[in-house]
Structure formats: C-alpha cells, structure tokens
Amino acid sequence: MGLHHALVIETQKVPWESGLDYLRTLAPAFRDNLGPADQVEANFAKYRQKNLYLDRDSTRRLDLVQLEPGYSDLTHCCHDSVEEGFLLGGEVVLDGEGTLHEGDYFWRPPGWIHHARTQPGVELLLGFEGRSNESGPVSRHVCPAQLAGSHHLIPSMNEASLGTRGRVCKVSSPGLVWQPGAAHARSQGPLMGFDLEHLSVRVLSRNPLTGQQTVLFRLAPGYQQTSAGSHAVWWQMFVLSGGVQWGDEAMGPGVFVHQPAGTVEAAMASPHGALIYAKVNGWLDFTPSCA
C-alpha cells in the first residue's frame, strides 16, 4: 500500500529556487513590504528556498530555506501570521529574540517585531500558519528597529499577544527530554497500531486546547506499526536523519510528506531508526484501518 493520496517530495532531487522567484509565490501583503525597492533584488539574491507545502486559500506554507552568509532583512517587521522555524544548520540572529543554532526552534505569534540576519549562513524549515484558528493571513509590516522584541499592537505581554502556544523565542531541542511513546500517547487519543515501545517524542510547541503541535519523533531501530490506519487531521513530516518505510516506499533524509486528514497510510516501519520533524493539525489519534 503506497501513499497514493499524500504529497511526497524528495527535496534532494528538487532544485533550489532563487529568492526572486520565491517572492512571486508570496501574497502582495508580504511581497510589497520588504523594504527599499532598489535593494530587494540584491538582498534576495542571497535567499534560496524549496517550497514543501502551499495552501493558497489560507496562505499557509512550509519552505526549506537557505540564507547565504551575510544575509540580513532590509527592515524590522512583524506578521499577521504565526511564523515558525527549525534550524537544520548554521546560525541566525533574531533581533529582539535571540541567536539560534542547529536544532533550535521558534514559534512566533502574530504581531511580534523582529529582524533576521546571519553571518555564517543558515538552513532551516520555515513556515507560516496563514489563516487558521491561531493565525491571520501571511503578511509583512515594516516596523521601527527600536521596537524589536515588542508587540506591534499590544504593548504588554499578555494572553492576547502570546497566542495559543505562547511566544516561543527559542527552544534548544537537544536540551528537551525525550518522552516515551506511551507517555506521549496518553495525551493524544487512540494510537492503536503505533509502535509505542520504539517511539520517543520531543514536543517543540503545542496548542493545549486543539492538540495542534510541532514535535520531533525518534523512531528506534526496529520500529514497526502493526496496522495501516489514518489520522482525523492532516499531518506533515520531514525526515531529518535515518529513514522510514511505508509499504514498498522507502523515505530517507530530506523527504517531506503531507498526509491529508482521513487518508489511510500503510503501516510505518523504520528498520534502522529515524529522526523526524512533524507538524500535526490536532490530536494525533491514529486509528487502524478496517481494510
């Protein structure tokens, strides 16, 4: 059984898209507010990306991004959308928030003013939530540099400014405890068929009301689900290391999968183990297939 209804991208086989080509895929509310027009072309010559997922209706997107050494945003800014990132390598300085390195993660609610620059270069998974229950459309507002680290509309840090997952300026994932699969499953719903004995989880951010979450899954060698099945919500994964097997499909480092809600997937296996970055649009609640 293959993943016939899932989006599967082998990113290592996809060419890098220039920053200027990337701009054409952005909403005008973002593209038209990047800073001085005569500097945009030179600036985005240092920006490369591979689009992994784009929903034009909601403007939600996820990209694999490379910023060359010396890249710097032309202005400080904020967004109406949640912005989220996980560093795969290099370093980026987010003014008003901190310096992030490989394995670091951030989740920024709408409205927080920031600025990105990198001296050595950086590669990251970069996402905007777009219109959802915790976010507005993808947009960009130019803001004064002296206001970095503050909220565009709400002067104090309160529940309204923190959003549904909080303002996660920096999570160093190597410093998080791996939760055993059985412990994580107690908060999720029925995970019948999951190989919980060979599963560990690091939670990077989570909406405690809806179950929407971004996590790292560690599959120990020999991981084997007992059944095909489906989730009630869509979920996405990016293989960071190792590999997984879905039926006769082998997926190694750099493979991205978007699995729509309700799609039956083959039983997942990982003979040699894997590390996976995953986004889940609600409670994980895997249910075995009756087929």
| Sequence ranges of the domains in the chain | 14-172, 176-288
150 DSSP assignment: S
Hey, is 207 helix, strand or coil?
Answer: coil
- Asked if residues 87 and 103 have their Cβ atoms less than 8 Å apart, the reply is yes
pLDDT (0 to 100) of residue 191: 84
pTM: 0.95
Structure confidence by residue, pLDDT tens digits, 225-276: 998 999 999 999 999 999 999 988 899 999 999 999 999 888 999 999 999 9
Contacts of 73 by beta carbon, 8 Å cutoff, 6+ apart? 35, 115, 116, 117
pLDDT (0 to 100) of residue 273: 98
What gap in Å lies between CA 280 and CA 224, rounded to an integer?
A: 20
**14-172 matches 176-288 in fold:** yes
Q: Write down the residue that tokens 């709400």 correspond to.
A: 154
Q: In what order do the strands lie in the sheet with 268-270?
A: 223-224, 268-270, 244-246, 249-251
pLDDT (0 to 100) of residue 4: 55
In the predicted model, residues of the chain with pLDDT beneath 70 are 1-4, 290-291
Contacts of 119 by beta carbon, 8 Å cutoff, 6+ apart? 69, 70, 91, 93
pLDDT (0 to 100) of residue 14: 96
Helix spans in the chain (H)? 19-23, 28-31, 37-44, 159-162, 181-185
pLDDT (0 to 100) of residue 150: 94
Cα angle value 103/202/58 (rounded, 5°): 80
CATH architecture assigned to 176-288: Sandwich (2.60)
CATH superfamily of the 14-172 domain: Jelly Rolls (2.60.120.10)
- Asked if residues 171 and 266 have their Cβ atoms less than 8 Å apart, the reply is no
